[in-house]
């Protein structure tokens, strides 16, 4: 089946997809995209300091405070897409309500990785606080014509950080 790995403590099936929970956040400061099939090059990532916050169980968890900008997210969940589907991570409604937009690229048929990633755009005038393990995105799948499986340069990669 075309569902992410690691469903459990940090992930769960949703009505139309699978919830994706944040593991790590860095700021994207720029990059370069080449013609042809060479991987995109991120020119600089900025580490974001975190504080410790209490989750609903009273346990200490990382908490990132984000301002206006563009961020790279790494999720606790990976993905494994079969050759009859493609997928994309989109933001949950709560992400949108907090003035954020979340998108991944399209995961082609046959793509798999241990930790999926996406880009988070924060449009808020003030700060947005995000705890580690927060469900920010949702992997949604679409049927597509059966095709050869993905064998590109990102196969099996973790996020580029």
What tens digit of pLDDT does each residue of 93-120 get?
999 999 999 999 999 998 989 999 999 9
How many CB atoms neighbour CB 159 within 10 A?
19
Q: Is the pLDDT of residue 2 over 70?
A: no
pLDDT of 33 reads 82
Q: Is the pLDDT of residue 85 over 60?
A: yes
What tens digit of pLDDT does each residue of 43-54 get?
778 889 999 999
Is pLDDT larger for residue 18 or for residue 154? 18
Average pLDDT across the chain, whole number: 85
For the chain, the helix, strand and coil percentages under 3-state DSSP, each to the nearest 5: 5, 45, 50
Q: Which two tokens stand for residue 31?
A: 């990059």
Mean pLDDT of 11-20: 79
Q: Is the pLDDT of residue 10 over 60?
A: no
CA angle 69, 56, 132 (to 5 degrees): 35
* Dihedral (CA of 27, 31, 33, 37) sign: negative
Helix (H) or strand (E) holding 95: helix 93-97
Phi-psi region of 62 (alpha: psi -120 to 50; beta: other; left: phi over 0): beta
CA distance 47 to 64: 11
pLDDT of 3 reads 53
């Amino acid at each position: 089946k075309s569902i992410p790995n690691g469903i459990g403590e940090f992930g769960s099936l949703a009505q139309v997809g699978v919830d994706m929970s944040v593991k790590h956040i860095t700021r994207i400061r720029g990059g370069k995209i080449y013609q042809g099939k060479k991987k995109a090059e991120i020119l600089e990532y900025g580490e974001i300091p975190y504080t410790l916050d209490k989750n609903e169980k009273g346990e200490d968890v990382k908490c990132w405070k984000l301002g206006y900008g563009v961020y790279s997210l790494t999720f606790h969940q990976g993905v494994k897409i079969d050759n009859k589907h493609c997928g994309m991570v989109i933001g949950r409604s709560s992400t949108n309500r907090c003035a954020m937009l979340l998108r991944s690229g399209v995961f082609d048929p046959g793509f798999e990785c241990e930790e999926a990633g996406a880009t988070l755009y924060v449009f808020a005038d003030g700060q947005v606080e995000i705890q580690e393990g927060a469900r920010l995105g949702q992997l949604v799948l679409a049927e597509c014509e059966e095709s050869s499986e993905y064998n590109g340069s990102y196969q099996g990669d973790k996020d580029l950080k």
